[in-house]
Every structure is written in structure tokens, then in C-alpha cells.
Amino acid sequence: MIDTANTDLALFKKETREWLIANCPESMRQPVKNGFEEIYGGGRKAEFISEDQKIWFERMRDKGWTAPTWPAAYGGGGLSNAQGKILKEEMADLGCRAPLWSFGLMMLGPAILHFGTEEQKQKYIREICRGEIWWCQGYSEPGAGSDLAGLQTSAKDMGDHYIVNGQKVWTSYANKADMIFCLVRTDNEVPKQRGISFLLIDMETEGVSVQPIKLISGKSPFCETFFDNVKVPKENIVGRVNEGWTIAKNLLTHERTTVGNLFGSILPLHEFAVEAVGMENGKLADSTLRPEVARLMINSFGLKYAIDQTMDMTKAGHQPGAKSSFFKYYGTELNKDRYELMVALKGYEGLQWGETYEEGKLARDMCRTKGNSIEGGTTEVQLNIIAKHVLGLPIKK
């Protein structure tokens, strides 16, 4: 008997590969050197950094492959998960960069597909797939970091609209963004998690102002965003009033779906090490850092296998909840160690402070990784969650 599903997938794989080879410009198949700046983010004010970037984005957009597995009816690619996986693998294999990367794709889109109205899906999902709107995220506040549910930015019901007042912090790229998705307080009289709503606000509305934040790494995409009597239409609420916390939690559990490896291929750590310090008698010239390189590589492989395993569990219909609970903690700590090690391998050269990779961007990047274990739930919060919800350790009264 012929397995038609597998035959179709094999054909899809072949055609996809051929299409990618024919349509992905050579320069879009080179590893990224300067991080997010080299990946197209879209938006009203967007500019392409090269003709190739524009061609690559437009070709992928026209196939719906900026969001390959989202419904075609809203501008996505309409691919099955199996096809999406093949596309991802082929792109990784060819070293293709992501054609588009945005908070819309990563965060907001899945939430709107899940909780949004038909009108919201028609409008926002299409805009996200086509890279027309740059979204930023307004969650944290100066007084609400790890205790996010303690947020105070308020949206007052004025009948046909809301009036928003307050301040958000760590709103990445707020100075470039067209729209912001926010958690706002819509009820002060109930337990804190139950009085939060999920609201979409146009950054061009009167009363919205933005102030960039300079980080220890130098320049940064982060901003503070202020709301001073900002008028927001009622239809901009996603889900029900006071349901925002559920949406925010759901949004964080979404698999971070990006198309292909974001930055193309990454230089393996041992190759970086050999390039940095050279070899001596068949071994890495730095005998102290050599086992450290091996240790981090082993932990990276370990994390990869654990992630692979949860994907296999999901495919087989099991809930990998507990298994995936440590990925954020482990991955971010590993990334911090990795950058510390790269700086150590580079020695004085690794400490140079410059704008580009060649001028010494490594030290900046290393500083930036310190935020990995703070943003999106600190390492300590992650460990609390594992201790209480996975290991069932008692909560201290």
C-alpha cells in the first residue's frame, strides 16, 4: 500500500527545497553578525537594509511563509504542522535567515488566533503576516516585575472607549513600534489576577510617549512607555474584560515559533574557541578553558535532546508539561555561561567596546545576556515554579 501522506510530504520537501534554493538570495543564506538589526521586522516605518532582504521578505510573504502554519484565510501559509516542520528544517539546512521576525509573529498572533474575534483575526493576523505593523509588548511596570500581576496601568471604562493612564517598562522597540499590546488594570476590587485585561493601543494616539532605556550593554531596544489619558476604542480589547491574565499566561506557553533559525547558522562553540586561542599539540591551546568548552557543549546538546524529547512526546499525544518547565531557566543560564566563556577565550580583545562585531560587539552581547535570566520570568521565579508545581514542595506560610 502506498502511504499517500508520506509521499505527499516527500514531494513537499523536494518542492520546498527547490523553491528555497531558487528564491532565497545568497546573502540571505549567510549567518547574521549583528543580531536582530539584520532581520527584517516590518512596520509602518520599516526600511530594508538591502535589496536582497526586500526580495526575500516579499517572496516569503507572498507565499504566506512568514507565518507558514497560520490559516491561509488570514494571510498565513496554511501549512500542516508536518509541512511547517519540513520548511523549518529545509531553511535551517540551507542556512536561510528568517524573512520576518516580530513580536506580532512570536507573541501577539497566537493570542489573537486563540482569543480574538473574527474581525480582529482578519485585520491583525493579516497585518502581522504581511509585516505591515510593528507590535511591541507592554507588560512590566516599574513596580511590577516578577510580580507582574501587581500592575497598575489602568483602563477606565468610559462607555464607548477606555481612558488609559500609567507607565510600562521594558517595552522593546517601543520607539519604532506602531502598536502595543498591553496588560491593563480594569478592576481594582478583585484579586489582582482577575482585574487585568488585554488591550491593543496605537502608539500614534495622543498621550502616548516613549523614552529609550540605555542598558549595561550600551544601546538597547528597550523603552519606557507612558500613557497620559490615552483614548482607546472598546473593540481593541482581546478576549473578555478581566480575562487578560489568562491570555498573558497562554501567550507565554506558546511554542516560540520562528521560521528557520533566526540568525541562520551559529558558529559552534569549539570552532569559536579554536579560532580564538588556536591549537597546541592537538588540543585547544588554553588547557583551562578546554574542559569548560566541552562542558557547555555537552549541556547544549543535553538541552537540545530534552527539547527534542518534549516535541516527540507532544507528537505522541503526551503532555510534556513537567519536562519543559526547566527550558527557560536552563537555556538562559547556559547562554550567559556561553558568552562569559567566549569573552574569556577572546581575552583583552573580547573586552573591546565597539558598534560592530569586528570592532568588538562581543562584550556588549555578553552584558546583554545577563538580562536573559531576568526577562520573561527570572531564573528564581522559574525555579520556584519547578519546586512548587513539578516537585510539589510545600509553600512557606
Partner 1 sequence: MALLLNEEQEMLKTSAKEYLNKQAPVAALRFLRDANDKTGYNKALWNEMAEMGWCALTIKEAYGGMGFGYVGLGQILEESGRTLTASPLVSTVLLGATLVELGGTEAQKQALLPLVAEGQLTLAVAFEEKNAHRPLAVETQAKVDGDDIVLSGKKVFVLDGHVSDKLIVSARKEGEIALFLVDANTPGLSIERQIMMDSRNAATVSLDGVKVKAADQIGDQSTLEKALDIARIGLAAEMLGTTQEAFERTIAYLKERVQFKVPIGSFQALQHRAATMFSEIEICKSMVLKALQDIDADSAELPVMASMTKAKIGEVIQLVTNEAIQMFGGIGMTDDEEIGFFLKRARVAQQTFGDYNYHLDRFASLNGF
Q: Is 375 a catalytic residue?
A: no
> Which of residues 163 and 381 has its CB atom nearest to partner 1 in the complex?
381
> Which of residues 162 and 329 has its CB atom nearest to partner 1 in the complex?
329
| CB-based contact 10:2 (threshold 8 Å) | no
> Which of residues 8 and 380 has its CB atom nearest to partner 1 in the complex?
380
Q: How many whole angstroms separate alpha carbon 77 and alpha carbon 86? A: 13
Residues 284 to 343: which contact partner 1 by CB under 8 A?
284, 290-291, 293-295, 297-299, 301-303, 305-306, 308-309, 312-313, 315-316, 323, 326, 329-330
Q: How many whole angstroms separate alpha carbon 97 and alpha carbon 100? A: 9
CB of 183 to partner 1, least distance (A): 27
Residues 338 to 397: which contact partner 1 by CB under 8 A?
380, 382-384, 386-388, 390-397
CB of 314 to partner 1, least distance (A): 11
> Which of residues 67 and 345 has its CB atom nearest to partner 1 in the complex?
345
Q: How many whole angstroms separate alpha carbon 306 and alpha carbon 326? A: 10
Instruction: With residue 211 as reference, give the H or E element that holds it.
Output: strand 208-212
Coil, strand or helix at 333: helix
CB of 327 to partner 1, least distance (A): 9
> Which of residues 301 and 353 has its CB atom nearest to partner 1 in the complex?
301
Closest to 93 measured CA to CA, from 101, 103, 105, 85: 85
What is the CB-side half-sphere exposure of residue 27 using CA atoms within 13 A?
Answer: 11
Coil, strand or helix at 392: coil
> Which of residues 333 and 375 has its CB atom nearest to partner 1 in the complex?
333
Cell of 164: 488609559
| CB-based contact 277:44 (threshold 8 Å) | no
Of the residues 191, 283, 288, 348, which one makes contact with partner 1 according to CB under 8 A: 283
> Which of residues 259 and 276 has its CB atom nearest to partner 1 in the complex?
276
The pattern of x and - marking residues 226 through 265 that bind partner 1 according to CB under 8 A reads ----------------------------------------
CB of 253 to partner 1, least distance (A): 18
- Secondary structure letter of residue 203 according to DSSP: T
| Radius of gyration of the CA atoms of the chain, in A | 22
Characterize 267-302 residue by residue with b for buried, 16 or more Cβ atoms within 10 angstroms of its Cβ, and e for exposed. Answer: eebeebbeebbeeeeeebebeebeebbeebeebbee
CB of 336 to partner 1, least distance (A): 15
Instruction: With residue 169 as reference, give the H or E element that holds it.
Output: strand 161-169
CB of 257 to partner 1, least distance (A): 20
Q: How many whole angstroms separate alpha carbon 368 and alpha carbon 37? A: 15
Q: Which of 255, 275, 358, 380 is catalytic?
A: 255
Cell of 384: 520556584
- Secondary structure letter of residue 223 according to DSSP: E
Residue 273 binds partner 1 (CB under 8 A): yes
CB of 380 to partner 1, least distance (A): 7
Residues 23 to 52: which contact partner 1 by CB under 8 A?
none
Binding site for partner 1 (CB under 8 A): 270, 273-274, 279, 282-284, 290-291, 293-295, 297-299, 301-303, 305-306, 308-309, 312-313, 315-316, 323, 326, 329-330, 380, 382-384, 386-388, 390-397
- Catalytic amino acids? 255
